[in-house]
């Protein structure tokens, strides 16, 4: 095997995942789509633990996009209900295992009940540091850029003072480094409005694996692909390490 280039640390600090393929997984089993989403929650919990075990510090997952409201209303409401069930079923264990949970996205459109559940998840894991799990819910990359611009304007940032670092401080994931590795399951090869700003230099890995089947083998395969990549951040190879280290 080729030696890992020095510009790609063996383990990414931040992994982002588009968890796609729940519906197809269920359809293959002649089950309703909801069943696939339910299994998808279990796959997510497994993945959080697997990432933490591998020293990944940040995991950000796309659970519900700004565009997912266009799905049939029964599927939308079942997804909302599933989140409430998932919070009550898994939160205590995640909290006990040192997972810090954050929700990123527009909370204005979700029900009070869901907003309270999110708040509870965030409050009860606030002091955890093992791994930061960010759940993107009612999130879109374009929404994120617009809301960051709005916040900057409200804060009175002058056009001449607006640079990338300043705008980034208003983005939904301002507390996290940019994702090093961006994984999409389910066979589609697109970004679908996830982390448009933050994924500018992410390494992309697409897999046919449907999300409910995602496990340690798939994760390790994506991590191995990442470790073989040479990250340049737009620079020539020798300079890339300096860019990556921020010096
Ligand atoms: C894409 O599969 C998946 C989603 C739109 C939902 C993902 C949500 C979860 C895994 C549950 C998250 C729950 C919590 C608690 C955060 P799809 O329905 O588009 O599948 P398809 O492409 O096969 O139709």
CA gap 33, 209 in Å, rounded: 17
- Other beta carbons within 10 angstroms of residue 6's beta carbon come to 13
Query: Ligand 1 center to residue 29 CA distance, Å?
Result: 16
CA gap 36, 99 in Å, rounded: 24
User: Strand, coil or helix: what is 135?
Assistant: strand
Query: Ligand 1 center to residue 54 CA distance, Å?
Result: 24
Kindly report the protein residue whose alpha carbon is nearest to atom 1 of ligand 1.
Answer: 20
Residue 38 in contact with ligand 1 by CB distance below 6 A:
no
Residue 176 in contact with ligand 1 by CB distance below 6 A:
no
Q: Say if pTM beats, i.e. exceeds, 0.75.
A: yes
pLDDT of residue 247: 52
CA gap 37, 133 in Å, rounded: 18
CA gap 49, 57 in Å, rounded: 11
Report how many helices (DSSP H) and strands (DSSP E) the chain contains, helices first. Answer: 8, 6
Among all residues, which ones are annotated catalytic? Answer: 20, 68
Query: Ligand 1 center to residue 241 CA distance, Å?
Result: 36
Query: Ligand 1 center to residue 22 CA distance, Å?
Result: 5
pLDDT of residue 246: 59
Could you list the pLDDT tens digit for every one of the 247 residues in the chain?
334 445 667 899 999 999 999 999 999 999 999 999 999 999 999 999 999 999 999 999 999 999 999 999 999 999 999 999 999 999 999 999 999 999 999 999 999 999 999 999 999 999 999 999 999 999 999 999 999 999 999 999 999 999 999 999 999 999 999 999 999 999 999 999 999 999 999 999 999 999 999 999 999 999 999 999 998 888 876 666 666 665 5
Residue 44 in contact with ligand 1 by CB distance below 6 A:
yes
Domains of the chain, earliest start first: 14-245 (3.40.1180.10)
CA gap 38, 50 in Å, rounded: 19
Residue 22 in contact with ligand 1 by CB distance below 6 A:
yes
Residue 180 in contact with ligand 1 by CB distance below 6 A:
no
């Amino acid at each position: 095997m080729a030696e890992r280039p020095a510009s790609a640390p063996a383990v990414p600090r931040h992994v982002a995942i588009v968890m796609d393929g729940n519906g197809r997984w269920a359809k293959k089993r002649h089950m309703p789509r909801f069943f696939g989403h339910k299994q998808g929650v279990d796959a997510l919990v497994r993945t959080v633990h697997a990432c933490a075990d591998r020293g990944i510090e940040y995991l950000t997952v796309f659970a519900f996009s700004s565009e997912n409201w266009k799905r049939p209303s029964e599927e939308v409401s079942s997804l909302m209900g599933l989140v409430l069930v998932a919070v009550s079923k898994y939160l205590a264990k995640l909290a006990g295992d040192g997972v810090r949970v954050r929700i990123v996205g527009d909370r204005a459109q979700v029900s009070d009940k869901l907003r309270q559940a999110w708040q509870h998840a965030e409050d009860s894991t606030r002091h955890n540091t093992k791994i930061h799990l960010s759940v993107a819910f009612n999130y879109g990359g374009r929404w994120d850029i617009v809301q960051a611009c709005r916040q900057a304007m409200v804060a009175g940032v002058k056009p001449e003072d607006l640079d990338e670092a300043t705008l980034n401080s208003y983005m939904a994931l301002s507390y996290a480094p940019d994702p090093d590795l961006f994984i999409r399951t389910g066979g589609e090869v697109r970004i679908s409005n996830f982390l448009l700003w933050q994924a500018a230099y992410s390494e992309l890995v697409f897999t046919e694996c449907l999300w409910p089947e995602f496990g340690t083998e798939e994760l390790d395969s994506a991590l191995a692909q990442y470790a073989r990549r040479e990250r340049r951040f737009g620079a020539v190879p020798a300079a890339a390490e300096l860019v990556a280290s921020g010096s």
